Amino acid sequence: MRAYALIPVMSDTKAPMAFRRVAIIGRYGSPGMAAPLSRLAKFLSARGHQVVLEAETARSAPLPGYPTAAADRLGPQADVAIVVGGDGTMLSIGRQLAPFDVPLIGVNLGRLGFLTDIPIAKLEASLGAMLDGRFLEEQRTLLDAEVVHEAGTSERALALNEVVVSRGTMGGMIDLAVEIDGRFGYALRADGLIVATPTGSTAYALSAHGPIVHPQVPALLLVPVAPHALTNRPIVIGETSTITVTLLRGKDASAHCDGHAHFPLHEGDRVAVRRAAHPARLLHPEGHDYFAMLREKLHWSETPESVQQAKN
């Protein structure tokens, strides 16, 4: 079983050499992205790191003097990747760099920032300590989704948050059959079904009333979306299981992987979801606290009284 504990990593004075080559990825097309990327690149260069810019990032916010590489070619050229943006940018690059075992550091310029946890105001202080070897590391499960069409063709994609089988915009509810490790689990009539990782438990699955699952828990979540029967409830199973979802009835249905890959489904098509061969590696600053992050992002500590006091 893969270990998911946060691992404190302390280093000697040679630790920066472990991160000699640093890739920078920014949120595409975001206004004002050039300034923080330039600030980051200059900071890294001054420390002696070799900087390479992801190609789409460089096109959106050109930084003369730095080499570039396409996202699918960054893996062999980077010891660590720094993502400047939001969780969507982290999800995208995480899927692509996982097979190369490249760790990711997230700088938050988005809204919530569950995965990009370094505020831009603390950029140099936080990154300096982490690149010197003072960080916490964790592994996040990726999902490997295979869409098998009744005609015999198949398609595949990876997901870090979730794989969703859902109704279309013009159709009604869909009927699904869910198998777990080759055994029939249950039938479901609903708007859809979410198969999520613990990382994805704070994303779409949370909106569908699924549980929050700590990243250290080796589990997968099956969360129905607007089920017809109130007895269809979310369930958490072991991460080594294979979930197969068959579309029994429904028009205009589709499968979605992290919102980046979309596959039309027809009756009889199957979506098989299993743990991917490679996890994503995330690095956090020392003192990172998952529950403190939840309190900050989800406002767990707020009461009606505290909200009123804040307004006053």
**How does the average pLDDT of the chain come out, rounded?**
90
Report d(CA 281, CA 23) in Å as an integer.
15
Residue 87 appears among annotated catalytic residues: yes
What are the pLDDT digits (tens) for 226-269? Answer: 999 989 999 999 999 999 999 999 989 999 999 899 999 999 99
**Which is the catalytic residue, given 72, 79, 87, 144?**
87
Pick the CATH number of 7-141+279-306 from 3.40.50.10330, 3.40.190.10, 3.30.465.10, 1.10.443.10: 3.40.50.10330
**Checking phi first, is residue 208 left (phi over 0); if not, alpha (psi -120 to 50) or beta?**
alpha
Upper half-sphere CA count for residue 276 (Cβ side, 13 Å): 28
What are the pLDDT digits (tens) for 40-52? Answer: 999 999 999 999 9
Q: Where are the domains of the chain?
A: 7-141+279-306, 143-275
Query: Going by C-beta distance under 8 Å and a sequence separation of 6 or more, which residues neighbour residue 6?
Result: 136, 137, 138, 216, 284, 288
Pick the CATH number of 143-275 from 3.30.1380.10, 3.30.460.90, 1.10.287.70, 2.60.200.30: 2.60.200.30
Same fold, 7-141+279-306 and 143-275: no
What are the pLDDT digits (tens) for 112-121? Answer: 788 998 999 9
Whether residue 6 has pLDDT greater than 70: no
* pTM score, whole prediction: 0.89
What are the pLDDT digits (tens) for 183-215? Answer: 999 999 999 999 999 999 999 999 999 999 999
Which class for 69: exposed (0-12), middle (13-18), buried (19 or more C-beta within 10 A)? middle
